[in-house]
A and B are shown apart, each in its own frame.
Chain A
Amino acid sequence: MTESKQALICVIDDDDAVRESVTMLLATVGVAACGYRDCQAFLKDEAARAADAMILDVRLPGINGLEFHEKFAERIGDMPVIFISGHGDIPMAVRAMRQGALDFLQKPFAEQTLIDRVNQAIALAAQRREKRSEVAAVQSLLDQLTPREREVLDYMVQGHSSKVIANALDISARTIEQHRARIMEKMQVGSVAELVHALTLAGEARHP
């Protein structure tokens, strides 16, 4: 886990005292927090896009936390969300978890639980960020391939031999061999196994 930059948490709660106390609590463990009294305020703040995670109250003026989580999933992105609620019930918690929340905490919560969840969220955010950059790297390498090379690649990760690919694409096995070498070079891998791993990570493995 990379601790290079300080983590930033968004706290959305309409209660000033709750917002402030959570912010102060996170500060004691070196986590920066930014408070918003409702979802609109969060949406208006562009700086919030850089946040690692979000602590979201369910009962809010205007659109409530659960609805916001559901309808603005794109804006929230892969930011882990911890719900806090003064009147949480099981259906509400189930809904939150189904929507991909990290946890659903009932107020008042033990401070350590919140800190633990926030640390988990930060770690998860870091992992996601790391993965995101790896995927982006693979993607940029893939972008260098020609359409024919990409076609050949899709057959390669399926484990087909050059002869089979040559038959399928109706070109000579020699030409296939040349493509293979260029693909390995462009994708910066030494084996087909490495190539499959990279493609799986990027979610780019597909049937030709």
Chain B
Amino acid sequence: MADPSQPDDPGFLTNFQVDRKSLLTRDIGERLLALSPSPVLLLDMKSASIIEANPAAQAIFGSAQLPLVGTHFMHCFRHPEDGKHILDERLEHVALQYFVLGAGRHLPVELDLRRLDDAGVILVFIRDLTSRLALDNQRLIAQRNYRLLFDNAPQPMMLLDKGFVIVGANRAAAILYGFADNEIPLLSLKAMLVNPRDLDQYRVQLDPRTLAPQWHWRTDGSQRLIEPSVSTLRRERQTFLLVVLRDVTDSEHQIAELRRAEERWRFALDGHGDGVWEWLPQSGEAIVSQRFLDMLGFGVEDARHPFDYWDARVHPEDYLRMHLAIMQHFLAESPVIAGEYRMMTVDGQYRWLAIRARAIETDASGRIDRIIGTVRDVHEQRRQEQRERLQQEQLMHTARLATMGELVTMIAHEVTQPLTAISNYSAVARRHLQRQGDSVPADATHALNRISELVSHAGEVVHRIRSFVRKGELRLEPISINVLIVDVARLAEIQARALSAEIDLDLAIGLPELTGDRMQLGQMLLNLARNGLEAMGAVDGPRRLKLRSALNSENEITVEVEDCGCGLSAALAMDVITPFFTTKPEGLGMGLAICKTVVENHQGRLWVSAAKPAGTVFHVALPVR
């Protein structure tokens, strides 16, 4: 019941809600109709024509000239059959219908119908959707545009739900992953990750964010290095992740790979004995590895001294050379910095180190950002090389001395013979003249005397030169011939390798030591070995040089140098040892003559024989004293 002491509407509405039964009266219906702020129509159930329209409804339909009351409900619709359909199907709620308006404008509305069967009327509640739909429409358009943008963006993108399931992906993403039809099916991102633990990165709540590059599977089984950028989207109370994918396989991947490779190398090199160093020329920083530090005796705390610190430890004699190498590399004149330099160790000694380095990063303007290099301790090697070079030089010197000595001996011999004859002949002449007594002109005797004096002087000069050259007298020391042979074989090995020949040693055990000049005997044996190797240059089959040592019945140590070369004819064998005899175009023919001299200096013998089936054997016999 209505309470007159209360304001109309609320009381009425309260009653309206509470006492449904009362609503079912036409009177109340009419009152309701008049009071409702929403548009309401009252239809006659039978004729479906409009009996009443409240002011709000009047306002919606917007014109007094339209005779709303009495109009058939059907004619309120753009398509009248819609209205018929609603009534026929006794629909209670119609989500969206278009009404026909007087001015010909369409109005989107939502309808709720209440059939009051007792009263034979239908209440039609109308909700104007005009403003709402306009909003919806805008959103729709925007959505479509975004969709279009999303789909056609060149950058691969995908949309993940809270469970990291891919709920959307654009064409670029589909192509990136190699999915057919440019579509990615619903699947978990986890399935795409090579390393599933990378998924954790997506959980970090930071927006937007770029994640560290990670490897993703493609459908063909290959991998791409992806750098994802993630931002969170909230839509209709759901959270999505928009992931923009950047394929860095070909760009940053390379650098990363290089770094990784570098680290591997650093590790490998450090383990192998090479140190590693890194120099950032722009900042002057330097990093050196443990091995590097070990080589110079430094501790791990010295790993990060600036470059200048190490630079200052370079040997003054090597400094300029090293910096030239660096400059040439900076100027791109050389592909690498390479060289052997001495560096000062922690206790002030210098060690030979082999450096190899290369710029691996440059900035946009071409300046070198990073140089990475290795360092190897070549100290012992270098010293060994020096020793060997010295040994070689000594041998060369001995060889030169021997050659010169032999040459001078030859010349001396060739000169002293005629000098002797001249001296004798002039003496003969003088003696004969002296017997003639006073009739001989004084000048004739004087001339002959002068000849004798000058010859004598010339002879002295020759002897002086000879004794000068012979200064390198024998330096006698006890020698093990087998040790000497092994040394000689090692020196001849280089030449043997070049000729792909082999050197066989057949050394007798327990040979006594002999006394001699190690340098000269070594030179002699090396000469014989080289001769033998050269003689085999034209041999087709296996090239084998045999060096044998033995003790013969006359208490002489014998060494045989046997080649399998073309061999010497009997006539040649006689001449081969004489000076200036040579079969080599550039040879002086002194080699074997020197050998003979050396052997004779040791009271030994040198001779030649033919080897079987082919080749030549040089025999050396040296007495044991």
Contact = CB atoms under 8 A, between A and B. Distances in A.
Interface in A61-87: 84, 86-87
Given A17-B421, A108-B419, A109-B420, A87 B456 contact: no
B423 A108 contact: yes
B420 A107 contact: yes
A59 interface: yes
B424 A22 contact: yes
A111 B424 contact: yes
Contact of B416 (A21, A29, A89, A108): A108
Contact of B425 (A21, A86, A106): A21
Given A24-B428, A111-B424, A17 B409 contact: no
Contacts of A22: 424
A201 to B, nearest CB: 38
Given A28-B432, A86-B413, A21 B420 contact: yes
Contact of B431 (A18, A20, A28, A109): A28
Contacts of A25: 424, 427-428, 431
Given A28-B431, A107-B459, A110-B456, A87 B412 contact: yes
B422 interface: yes
A108 B455 contact: yes
A109 B417 contact: no
* Residue among A22, A28, A59 with max Cβ neighbours from chain B (10 Å): A28
Nearest to B410: A87
A127 to B, nearest CB: 27
A87 B466 CA distance: 8
Given A24-B424, A28-B428, A108-B423, A86 B416 contact: yes
Given A87-B412, A89-B470, A111 B421 contact: no
Interface string A14-48: 01011011101101110000000000000000000
Interface residues of A, number: 22
* Residue among A15, A27, A86 with max Cβ neighbours from chain B (10 Å): A86
B447 to A, nearest CB: 16
Contacts of B253: none
B227 to A, nearest CB: 89
Given A107-B459, A110-B456, A15 B421 contact: yes
A204 B421 CA distance: 47
A18 B413 contact: no
Given A86-B413, A87-B409, A18 B456 contact: no
B452 interface: yes
A205 to B, nearest CB: 37
Q: Which bucket holds chain B's interface residue count?
A: 20 to 34
B563 to A, nearest CB: 26
A22 B409 CA distance: 23
Contacts of B339: none
Contacts of A87: 409, 412-413, 416, 466
Contacts of B417: 15, 17-18, 86, 107
B418 interface: yes
B396 to A, nearest CB: 25
A24 B424 CA distance: 8
A111 B423 contact: yes
A33 to B, nearest CB: 11
Contacts of B412: 86-87
B463 interface: yes
A25 B452 CA distance: 13
Contacts of A24: 424-425, 428
A10 to B, nearest CB: 16
Nearest to A59: B413
Contacts of A28: 427-428, 431-432
A107 B416 CA distance: 6
B603 to A, nearest CB: 9
Given A86-B413, A108-B455, A18 B421 contact: yes
A108 B422 contact: yes
B384 to A, nearest CB: 37
A87 B465 CA distance: 11
Contact of A21 (B428, B456, B459, B470): B428
A70 B66 CA distance: 164
B276 to A, nearest CB: 62
A60 to B, nearest CB: 11
B365 to A, nearest CB: 76
B455 A111 contact: no
A29 B420 CA distance: 18
Contacts of B432: 28
Contacts of A21: 420-425, 428
B433 to A, nearest CB: 11
A17 B418 contact: yes
* Residue among B412, B432, B463 with max Cβ neighbours from chain A (10 Å): B463
Nearest to B416: A86
Nearest to A16: B421
B284 to A, nearest CB: 69
Contacts of B413: 59, 86-87
Nearest to A29: B431
B421 A106 contact: no
Given A25-B427, A107-B416, A108-B455, A20 B463 contact: no
Contacts of A109: 420, 423
A60 B420 CA distance: 16
Given A86-B412, A109-B423, 18 more contacts: A15-B417, A18-B420, A18-B421, A21-B428, A24-B428, A25-B428, A28-B431, A28-B432, A29-B431, A84-B420, A87-B416, A89-B467, A107-B416, A107-B417, A108-B419, A110-B423, A111-B423, A111-B427
20 contacts: A15-B417, A17-B417, A17-B418, A18-B424, A21-B420, A21-B422, A21-B424, A21-B425, A22-B424, A27-B428, A28-B428, A28-B432, A86-B412, A86-B417, A86-B420, A89-B467, A107-B419, A108-B419, A109-B420, A110-B452
Interface of A: 15, 17-18, 20-22, 24-25, 27-29, 59, 84, 86-87, 89, 106-111
Q: Lowest 5 A-B CB distances belong to which pairs?
A: A21-B424, A17-B421, A111-B427, A86-B416, A28-B431
